[in-house]
Structure 1
Amino acid sequence: MANRGYDVVVDVDAEGDLGHTDLQEDLEFHSSNFETQPSTRGKLPTGNNSFLPTNNSNGSGTNSKHYLWSISFYAQFFDVDTSEVARRCRAAIFPLSNFLDVLDGNPDLYGPFWIATTVVVILFLTGTISQYLAKEGKKHFIYDFTLLSGAAGLIYGYTFIIPIALWGALKWFRAESANLLECVCLYGYANLIWIPVALISWSPISILNWVFVAVGLAASSVFLVRNLYPVLSATDVKTSKILLVVVVALHFGLALAIKILFFAHGSPAKKDKGNKDDDDKMMRFVFGL
């Protein structure tokens, strides 16, 4: 009998007696779908980064830790899309609610970095225009590329160094609610106001430029104070007041540096010796000299 189409062939006699054949002892049946994967025992695993330890407690095998020298460690701080960054920018310009609530426990570095970079570029461009207008009528105008390095040092330093120092002070005074990324995020999005201020503060009308910078200072100061006050109040009353005054004073210094260093028309930092104008009067009025 051909066995085509059959799995097992058993011969029986006419009376159906199987004789002494014991099927349970002589035969073994194994279920198989003929798609069994080859064994990986003894083989090295592929696709696993040995530098990133995995969490096997839940059996998922996903990365649970990131090292400082790995890209994945920094990628988690840029895990926002364009719509979310735009929403945070709107919340910074029109602060209808607490910005920390807008962050919802997910502060990012994407917005602060690109906002600071945009401010640096615009300060360089408008500062150059302001210098050109201040020296109009002279024979030759030379571009001052130190404006670019100065803008980068000022804006990047203020955006990232000041929040780290503030966070360190809060930790020193045992403010458990202090979060480094949230501090950096607050200062980063607070810089957004300097983009429109820089775009309109290159005019030759000095007093108008002072007004624009003052408006930017007031708006960004209110934003910072409103959102930092709940964090600062985690310390004692005296310490929180001192830190609040320091925050406002440093922000005032930033605004003053932007006006004096980059808007050259009438700026005392860009004038020749012995040349007096309205900005000298403004500086004496500000500092009480």
Structure 2
Amino acid sequence: MAGRQGYDVVVDVDAEGDLGHTDLHDDLEFHDSTFDQPTSNNRNKPLPPSQQSPFLNQQTSSRGGAQSISRRYLWSLAFYQQFFDVDTSAILLRCRAALFPRQNFLDVLDGNPDLYGPFWIATTVVFILFMTGTISAYLAQKGKGHFAYDFELLGGAAGLVYGYTLVIPLGLWAVLKWFGSESANLMECWALYGYGNLIWIPVALVSWSPLSILNYAFVGVGFALSAVFLFRNLYPVVSATDAKTSRILLVVVIALHAGLAIAIKILFFAHQSPAAKGGSAGGAPDPIGDSERAGDAVAMLLGF
């Protein structure tokens, strides 16, 4: 108490002299802690960064995993299965829309292009071109000597049809992407060209006539119908580029399609074409004799 000498202690006392209940030990109770449970007031509050780290780590790790999964998925059959998942009614509807176009074919696809129809249409065109080209070659031979099948004609038909259906849409899509078109879709381009080949099936079935002018007329009609089909459906997509580029692309598309029609006529339905081996170099065809040999050629192809 030596350090407190010279000081007075002052105590302030309530005037009534009642300090209230001061025994704090009677109201002490233990309660469960709610620190680990989110309350209704802080449910929508963002969590601190320390608590967000597991989610961020999961997102970051899944990003790299998703890329590797997508790479594997791209090279798997399951990736391409979705483009063959169509029913018969959808295929028939699209074939009818290709032969009798009343609306934009891309609207008929409705964002769900398929490769099933284009594949089988192209395959059918290949075999019909081979069959009718063989008949045309038989007619050009005029019955001289033994007639042999030319399977190079089958390979030529496959290379022409499959190559045109695969490469031209791919190149068109790449050019459109190069010029900044956002509406270009590779699968839609393949579907458009694939279903556009449907017109060549009836054309090939009637173009093996010995009358060359009639064959030219059939191939010309097929070219006109399919060119209008391509022009009508590609114009909205190509127009996404500038005016000059769109005109050039449309001209190139029609020119390449004309090249396909000319190749079909010369390689498969011309009596003096490279497909007609053993044909005479000149002279007018004999319609009566060729008509008789046409029946023999059909019977030969059908195995009668």
Flag whether TM exceeds 0.5 (same fold): yes
Q: CA deviation at 1:65?
A: 9.1
Q: Aligned residue for 2:174? A: 168
Question: Is 2:272–2:281's contact at 8 Å kept on the other side of the alignment?
Answer: no
Structure 2 unmatched runs, 5+ = 1-61, 63-68, 286-304
Structure 1 unmatched runs, 5+ = 1-55, 57-62, 280-289
Q: Aligned residue for 1:227? A: 233
Q: Aligned residue for 1:47? A: none
**Number of residue-to-residue matches in the alignment:** 218
Alignment of 1:80-159 (within 5 A): 80-159=86-165
Q: Aligned residue for 2:205? A: 199
Looking at structure 1, the residues matched to 131 and 280 of structure 2 have their Cα atoms a distance apart, in angstroms, of: 28
Query: Relative CO higher for 1 or 2, CA cutoff 8 Å, sep ≥ 6?
Result: 2
259-268 or 270-279: bigger deviation: 270-279
CA RMSD of aligned residues (A): 2.2
SS in 2 for 1:67: helix
| Structure 1 residues 121 and 268: alpha-carbon distance in aligned structure 2, compared to 1, 3 A threshold | closer
Question: Is 1:130–1:202's contact at 8 Å kept on the other side of the alignment?
Answer: yes
What residue identity is the alignment partner of 1:121? Answer: F
Question: Is 2:101–2:229's contact at 8 Å kept on the other side of the alignment?
Answer: yes
Q: CA deviation at 1:269?
A: 6.0
**TM-score relative to the length of structure 1:** 0.71
Looking at structure 1, the residues matched to 210 and 75 of structure 2 have their Cα atoms a distance apart, in angstroms, of: 48
Larger radius of gyration: 2
**TM-score relative to the length of structure 2:** 0.68
Question: Is 2:142–2:279's contact at 8 Å kept on the other side of the alignment?
Answer: no
Match of 2:81 among 75, 78, 85: 75
SS in 1 for 2:73: coil
What residue identity is the alignment partner of 1:191? Answer: N
Q: CA deviation at 1:140?
A: 1.6
Q: Aligned residue for 2:260? A: 254
Q: CA deviation at 1:217?
A: 0.1
What residue identity is the alignment partner of 2:173? Answer: W
Looking at structure 1, the residues matched to 154 and 261 of structure 2 have their Cα atoms a distance apart, in angstroms, of: 17
Deviations 1:205-260 (A, max 9, x none): 11000000000000000000000000000000000000000000000000000000
